[in-house]
Amino acid sequence: MATEVTVPTLGESITEATVGEWLKQPGDAVAQDEPIASLETDKVSVEVPSPVAGTLSEQLVAEGDTVEVGAVIAKIGEGAATGEPAAASATPEEVAQPAQDPGPEAEGISDESGPVTLSPAVRRAVLEHGVDPSKITGTGKDGRITKDDVIAAAKAKDSAPAAKATPSPAPAPSKPAAKVATTGERKEERVKMSRMRQTIAKRLKDAQNTAALLTTFNDVDMSAVMEARAKYKDVFAKKHGIRLGFMSFFVKACALAAKDVPAVNARIGGDEIVYHDYLDVSVAVSAPKGLVVPVVRSADAMSFAEIELTIADFGKRAKEGQLSMEEMQGGTFTISNGGIFGSLLSTPIINPPQSAVLGMHRIEERPVAIDGEVVIRPMMYLALSYDHRLIDGREAVTFLVRVKEALEDPMRLLIDL
């Protein structure tokens, strides 16, 4: 008797999701609690585990389909898989088809380490680009090959120099060969937006339509922070098991500045202003399908080590798609670090209902005037985007100045100045 696999509860107020990828195919053996599919919600990817051990006998929905919580998406049969699922009776048309090399579209492709399981989307990409999946190193969960891995391998193959072949002697042409004009192919690819990308697009546009967005800038000399990191990084790592990064300095500096300018850490609720006596920092981290913003709660009360450990854990689990909805809800202020991608300057967009976001950027050596002399210092541009309905320009500038002062003299973070 087959056991039904249903869409699990996805979190408060979330009633549906999109089937992102089938991790198991009909005929595959599955263990109890082994993931068989991944679902995309507005913010995270959720894996659907098998409720029993057995064989995946049927997929009732396709990748890209929208499914509701509690919907049946697959069935698990009893017993272990013995190979490919039994074929249905062939029609005369099917019998008449000549046998073809199954190639990489088979459910799995074997290499020296065993079978390589491919999702339908990945198999289509393998066929389209003509690459050998057994030679691709997967970057997906548990080393699975993704569509991006296939495209990257195809690009690498195309850019590799063609092997020199020994030319065979050709008969001399009776007349000069005509030059044949070649035209390059122009291709388009249409890919359905993921649910997460659709939500990001909607929220960002809503923020532009609702808030009176404005951005103010400043720059900060990062010498003191870099010297502190260089001096204490080994001792810090040995004691806390995590490296001392820049984010803990910025989080602490923002917590200090928010005490002087509480409007930056507030929000508009109807015709009221809601102030918070805590700082819950949404930290933008990169995930396979876009940026996500898990929340470091009560960051103002955390130590440097606690902040670094929390953010490192968020970053690791974001790449694995293991963040929960609860971890990305709330937040009173956002910090986004575009500098890790090389950004010099940007105007970040607030994350509603928050009223402000701080944008960090790359550090680069620039000439600056100090005490009447031009010196070279490691400088970073800071950008504060804010909702002008709540935060005045004076408050925004004051907040950035407080952050700048704390970073250029980190002792202020210790003595709460």
Check residue 201 and give its pLDDT.
84
Check residue 348 and give its pLDDT.
92
Question: Do the Cβ atoms of 21 and 37 come closer than 8 Å?
Answer: yes
Mean per-residue pLDDT pooled into runs of 10, the chain (417 residues): 84 76 89 87 78 89 86 83 41 39 41 52 72 79 75 78 48 53 78 78 87 95 95 93 93 95 95 94 81 90 95 88 83 92 91 93 94 95 96 96 95 79
What pLDDT, in 10s, does the model give residues 122-157? 766 777 777 878 778 887 766 778 877 888 888 887
What is the DSSP pairing of strand 285-287 with strand 66-68? unpaired
SS3 for the chain, per residue? Answer: CCEEEECCCCCCCCCEEEEEEECCCCCCEECCCCEEEEEECCCCEEEEECCCCEEEEEECCCCCCEEECCCEEEEEECCCCCCCCCCCCCCHHHHHCCCCCCHHHCCEEEECCEEEECCHHHHHHHHHHCCCHHHCCCCCHHHCCCHHHHHHHHHHHHHCCCCCCCCCCCCCCCCCCCCCCCCCCCCCCCCCCCHHHHHHHHHHHHHHHHCCEEEEEEEEECHHHHHHHHHHHHHHHHHHCCCCCHHHHHHHHHHHHHHHCHHHHCEEECCEEECCCCCCEEECEEECCEEECCEECCHHHCCHHHHHHHHHHHHHHHHCCCCCCHHHCCCCEEEEEHHHHCCCCCCCCCCCCCCEEEEECCCEEEEEEECCEEEEEEEEEEEEEEECCCCCHHHHHHHHHHHHHHHHCCHHHHHCC
148 phi and psi angles, rounded to 5 deg: -65, -35
Check residue 89 and give its pLDDT.
37
Identify which of 410, 364, 360, 374 has the alpha carbon closest to the alpha carbon of residue 227.
Answer: 410
Check residue 179 and give its pLDDT.
57
Candidate list 132, 388, 409, 416, residue with the active-site label:
388
Candidate list 111, 392, 409, 416, residue with the active-site label:
392
Domains, the chain, in order of start with CATH, read 1-84 (2.40.50.100), 103-155 (4.10.320.10), 204-415 (3.30.559.10)
What is d(CA 252, CA 417) in angstroms, rounded to the nearest whole number?
A: 12
Distance of CA 269 to the CA centre of its chain: 30
Distance of CA 244 to the CA centre of its chain: 23
Active site residue 392: yes
What is d(CA 350, CA 207) in angstroms, rounded to the nearest whole number?
A: 7
Residue carrying the six token digits 């035209």: 183
What is d(CA 348, CA 334) in angstroms, rounded to the nearest whole number?
A: 10
Check residue 66 and give its pLDDT.
85
Check residue 294 and give its pLDDT.
92
Using only C-alpha atoms, what is the Rg of the chain? 28
The pTM (predicted TM-score) of the whole model is 0.62
What pLDDT, in 10s, does the model give residues 363-415? 999 999 999 999 999 999 999 999 999 999 999 999 999 999 999 999 888 87
Q: Is 156 exposed, middle or buried (0-12, 13-18, 19+ CB in 10 A)?
A: exposed
